[in-house]
Amino acid sequence: MIRIKDLHIAYEARGYNYDVLKNINLELAAGETCAIIGPSGCGKSTLLKVLAGILKKFAGTVEINGQPVMPQNQRIGFIPQNYGLLPWKSIAENIRLGVKIKDRNQRDNEQNLAAMIQLLGLNGLEHRFPGELSGGQQQRVALARAFLLKPDLLLMDEPFSALDAMTREEIQNVFLEVWRRHSVSTILVTHHVEEAVYLGRKIVILSAAPGTVSKIIENPLFDTQDARNRQEFFQLCLELRKMIKEDWSK
């Protein structure tokens, strides 16, 4: 369970304090996915940094499974916009990176690594370097690394935004397939309404800066068969767009 209670964050720049996020309250059950959508600059990445334990100066409480965020004791997977792969390490080494830091039992990890490579369709690419892969393949590597860690919480910051529309859809499906097997609590930030409706069991709309929670939508279409081609999917995207337009123009 992820629990955010009365979160308030202000940044300080050149002697001024300004609010970035205000009164954020959010709960996410174990294994749920949550898509966060909000206008540029409303504090989405800041929120992920708090959940990742990178940003520690805030008011309120943020808990992962009943404990304050402590990356040294918890497993937090983070996929940044540029995938965060190390260009000088091979694909296999990149995938191993997260668990290498957390786990001593390397033999188990090697078996899991092979299974993950298989699941993500990366066979034959293990010895290449990130610069030798397509964007979609690099995204698969980032997903493999994150899921191999078996994280308590997976954070993704606009993970599919650099991909063309068809590859994005394909990788979204890959994400869902791996998520179904591992049911990892996931929070993703996105600018795409369709992506939020396709990948978020919960959809959170944040207001313009300072970001506050405008709406939380329980998505009835999440993980339903052939969701993307259903009339209800288009309808929900349309409604969400309308809500967002009204909310962001306030």
Ligand X SMILES: Nc1ncnc2c1ncn2[C@@H]1O[C@H](COP(=O)(O)OP(=O)(O)OP(=O)(O)O)[C@@H](O)[C@H]1O
Question: For binding to ligand X (CB under 6 A), which residues are involved?
Answer: 11, 13, 20, 38, 40-46, 209
Choose between 21 and 184: whose C-beta lies nearer to ligand X.
21
| Dist CA 190 CA 124 (whole Å) | 31
Choose between 13 and 166: whose C-beta lies nearer to ligand X.
13
Q: How far is the CB of 188 from ligand X (least distance, A)?
A: 12
Task: Name residues whose C-beta falls within 8 Å of residue 199's C-beta, 6 or more positions apart in sequence.
Answer: 33, 35, 172, 175, 176, 188, 190, 222
| Dist CA 250 CA 245 (whole Å) | 9
Choose between 43 and 149: whose C-beta lies nearer to ligand X.
43
**What is the token pair recorded at 9?**
């964050």
| Dist CA 53 CA 233 (whole Å) | 35
Choose between 41 and 220: whose C-beta lies nearer to ligand X.
41
Q: How far is the CB of 9 from ligand X (least distance, A)?
A: 9
Q: How far is the CB of 122 from ligand X (least distance, A)?
A: 28
For the CA atoms of the chain, what is the radius of gyration? 18
| Dist CA 190 CA 199 (whole Å) | 10
Choose between 8 and 228: whose C-beta lies nearer to ligand X.
8
Q: How far is the CB of 214 from ligand X (least distance, A)?
A: 14
Q: How far is the CB of 55 from ligand X (least distance, A)?
A: 8
Looking from the CA of 77 toward its CB, the CA atoms found within 13 Å total 27
Choose between 119 and 208: whose C-beta lies nearer to ligand X.
208
Q: How far is the CB of 163 from ligand X (least distance, A)?
A: 17
